[in-house]
Amino acid sequence: MMFDLSNKTIVITGAGSGIGKAIATTLAAQNAFVHILDLDEAAGIAAMEAIHSIGGQCRSSIADVSDLDKIKQVLEEIESESPIDILINNAGIGHVGTAENTTPEFFDRIYNINVRGYYHTIHALLPYLIKRSKGNIINLASVAGTVGISERFAYSVSKGAVLSMTRSVAKDFIKQGIRCNSISPGRVHTPFVDGYIAKNYPGKEEEIFAQLAKTQPIGRMGEPKEIASLALYLCSDESAFVTGTDFPIDGGFIKLNS
């Protein structure tokens, strides 16, 4: 069966909701054993239970990706039970602001989660992957990292760093049998988007949603399951010849707006 992930152990950060949850569910449906790492314990448990309800194998752990010692501890515990085959860095936060009005404190927060968080998991896992001479790392980036998004200064900077991190890891460890790729979604309809609109545009939810959807040339937002399908390909042996590459999945946003 194509895209079969039997006997693969996969760690996904920030998989308690949104894109991360969709990826975890999709991979578990293809027979992977999925480890959800999320700071929100309740969300992680709910996602785990949803996967169990469809017969998937899953475990959830509390993890703050900005805490390197905690990440090392969690990954060591998982490794002691089953070697980790694939790491998917997905945990991240957004922010609205320009270089003028973004505070140093929030810039640091974005960096600590969106950039250092990815570094922490990669840094902690690499010794295991190098020892086995194989491994697969997938980083969730964003179209913002390629073209920049208005009033998303800190977020765009962080995702640009993720793109460079992906290429660097792929180049440095290709001879050790380790692949590293990234996925750059455009705007995707997640609970985060709904919450953002409700908070900032009360009473205008439908109007603002329609405006945001139209920023993709294809005329709509993406769905988490669509991002998950691309992640499935990159996790599978069918993508064994792919490394050091970013995959935009954006309804034409980058190419048709440039």
Q: How far apart (Å, rounded) are the C-alpha atoms in residues 30 and 26?
A: 7
Q: How far apart (Å, rounded) are the C-alpha atoms in residues 183 and 172?
A: 19
* CB atoms near residue 146 (< 10 Å): 19
Q: Are 183 and 234 in contact (CB under 8 A)?
A: yes
Q: 206, 226, 202, 203: which is closest to 214 by C-alpha?
A: 206
Q: Could you confirm whether 111 is annotated as catalytic?
A: no
Active-site option among 155, 196, 201, 233: 155
Q: How far apart (Å, rounded) are the C-alpha atoms in residues 39 and 65?
A: 8
Q: Quote the tokens at residue 110.
A: 């974005």
Q: How far apart (Å, rounded) are the C-alpha atoms in residues 29 and 51?
A: 8
CA distances from 199 to 7, 98, 118, 191, 228 (A): 43, 19, 28, 12, 27
The residues, ordered by sequence, that sit 6+ positions from 161 with a Cβ below 8 Å of its Cβ are 114, 115, 145
The residues, ordered by sequence, that sit 6+ positions from 255 with a Cβ below 8 Å of its Cβ are 248
Active site residues: 155
